[in-house]
Amino acid sequence: MGSTYGKIFKISTFGESHGVGIGVVVEGCPAGVDFDTDFIQSELTRRKPGQSRITTQRKEADEFEVLSGVFEGKTTGTPIALIIRNEDQRSKDYSHIAAQFRPSHADYTYQVKYGVRDYRGGGRSSARETAARVAAGALAKLLLANFGVNIQAYVSQVGAMKLDKFYTELDLSQTENNAVRCPDPEMAEKMFNYIDDVRKKGDSIGGVVNCVVKGAPAGWGEPVFDKLHAELGKAMLSINAVKGFEYGSGFDGVAMLGSEHNDAFFVDDKGEVHTRSNHSGGIQGGISNGEDIYFKVAFKPVATIMQDQESVDSNGDTAVVQGKGRHDPCVVPRAVPIVEAMAALVLADFYLRNKASKL
């Protein structure tokens, strides 16, 4: 149950960090969607490890295989199964923590819940699981592209280093031009150097990923419990290391008066309804209103650091956890395609749910 997401466009991921591979089964994808292999692979390449010296040096090509659901370049309407085989496992890097609980990891909670855990890279709790989400999210993007929906995420903050520009002031086409995935070249360089300095000290740092959805029509979302922003929040908070989510004006909106915050409606030259401002973040009453949907996702510092840390072991004895293995000093550069993928999965599901909600 905990590995499945979606009501109609539904995904179930499987696999562990140091197992045979990571995979996903996608159900509910309509037949006839162009299955662009190159695009899906390019999305996985954006997420894969070893991209620069500020990411984990684990070497994985992250090439995917199609096991079912695709014929002659198009989806068939049946379950689509994809697998990404692991190639560079170093399980011995984790033998020292077989009986120790790493601070701020899922080691202790998995042990308590299941009575057993895969200590090799965290097993199922590893962020490597997100490769399967990116593959499925790429397929969701291909579906959404048929309706002009575009999803663009970027890094806006690393530690206290914050890009104080609204997305409308940025050229988001510059996002992929640097290792940090920040669309402001000057700030990107500063962020890169900061992350690299943190890495050299054997430490880690957190950050923020912003995401903008353009082209989503009005009417996507459900009232009450399945509000669009609630599902986006759930999807983002399901990503490893995420500690916060806000959309639209977010927490800054509390300092505004209602007369300032309300988004006034008007009819444009084409006879279409729009709002003059967008503090709502493209969502009102839990349903998209046709304006840009924008939100932020906060990521904590990566829990594995190359420093000794006090902890306990499975016998309840005091232990010292030694930092070993290959890990990102800052997760946000590689989290950009993951955030986009989860947003695409939410929107693809709501597109199909909306089709079923009226004649």
241 marked as part of a ligand binding site: yes
CA 141 to mean position of chain CA atoms: 14
124 marked as part of a ligand binding site: yes
133 marked as part of a ligand binding site: no
Place of tokens 């955030």: 339
326 marked as part of a ligand binding site: yes
Tokens at 80, concatenated: 């689509």
240 marked as part of a ligand binding site: yes
> Given the DSSP bridges, would you call strands 70-71 and 150-158 parallel, antiparallel or unpaired?
unpaired
Tokens at 356, concatenated: 């079923």
301 marked as part of a ligand binding site: yes
**210, β-bridge pairs:** 154, 296
Give the containing element (helix H, strand E) for 20: none
Q: From CA 249, how far away is CA 30, in angstroms rounded?
A: 35
List alpha helices for 26-129, DSSP H: 37-47, 107-114
334 marked as part of a ligand binding site: no
Tokens at 35, concatenated: 């299955």
Q: From CA 306, how far away is CA 327, in angstroms rounded?
A: 9
61 marked as part of a ligand binding site: no
221 marked as part of a ligand binding site: no
78 marked as part of a ligand binding site: no
303 marked as part of a ligand binding site: yes
Q: Give the gyration radius of the chain's Cα atoms.
A: 21
102 marked as part of a ligand binding site: no
The answer to whether 281 touches 229, Cβ cutoff 8 Å, is yes
**Could you tell me which residues are annotated as the binding site for NADP(+)?**
47, 53
**Could you tell me which residues are annotated as the binding site?**
47, 53, 124-126, 240-241, 285, 300-304, 326
**Could you tell me which residues are annotated as the binding site for FMN?**
124-126, 240-241, 285, 300-304, 326
